Amino acid sequence: MSKHDNSPFILSLKEGDNLFESIINYAAYADLKSAIISGIGALSNITISYYHRNTKQQFKKLFQDTYEIASLTGNITLVDSGWFIHIHAALGDANFQLFGGHLISAQASASTEIAITPLNYTIMRKKHPDLDIKVICPFVAI
């Protein structure tokens, strides 16, 4: 794949790879401005959060075992300081129970495959004054 090719790309991670660092490293290599992310495989050492709208607080929980990805979707956007990776995931455990939320951190486990589909425009995020979280702004055409 050439550096400026806008074709989708599959990022195959090794066990123990940091999910977010791997995505940011690829975004830097490919000079991505914005993209859509989806994934399959397994993750471990996962931190998930839940945003409580009324209190504007993030509640975080660490899951240290290995879990199957039932669904992983998100995007790569830009903030003033660089890339912003926003991912939500549904994960399954050995008892076939699902849980999920906003992914804060995770490591690849067994086989983790992330599809990255570049967009041909830039999506910016800024802190929303009422929500106290970074949200997508109107897009800026390239």
Residue 138: per-residue pLDDT: 61
Residue 38: per-residue pLDDT: 98
SS (H, E, C) 89-105: EEEECCCCCEEEEEEEE
Q: Provide the token pair at 100.
A: 């999920």
| Statement: residue 6 has pLDDT above 80 | no
Q: Provide the token pair at 115.
A: 């599809």
| CATH architecture of the region 9-136 | 2-Layer Sandwich (3.30)
SS (H, E, C) 48-65: EEEEECCCCEEEEEEEEE
Mean pLDDT of all residues in the chain?
91
Which residues is 133 bridged to in the sheet? none
Residue 102's alpha-carbon distances to 52, 122, 129, in angstroms, are: 12, 22, 20
Say if residues 35 and 78 touch (Cβ distance below 8 Å).
no
Say if residues 78 and 33 touch (Cβ distance below 8 Å).
yes
pTM of the model: 0.88
Per-residue pLDDT band at 137 (split at 50, 70, 90): confident
22: nearest Cα among 110, 105, 130: 105
Could you tell me how many residues make up the chain? 142
The structural domains of the chain, with segments of one domain joined by +, span: 9-136
Say if residues 75 and 123 touch (Cβ distance below 8 Å).
yes
Residue 140: per-residue pLDDT: 46
Strand residues in the chain grouped as ranges (E): 9-13, 35-52, 57-79, 82-92, 98-118, 125-127, 134-136
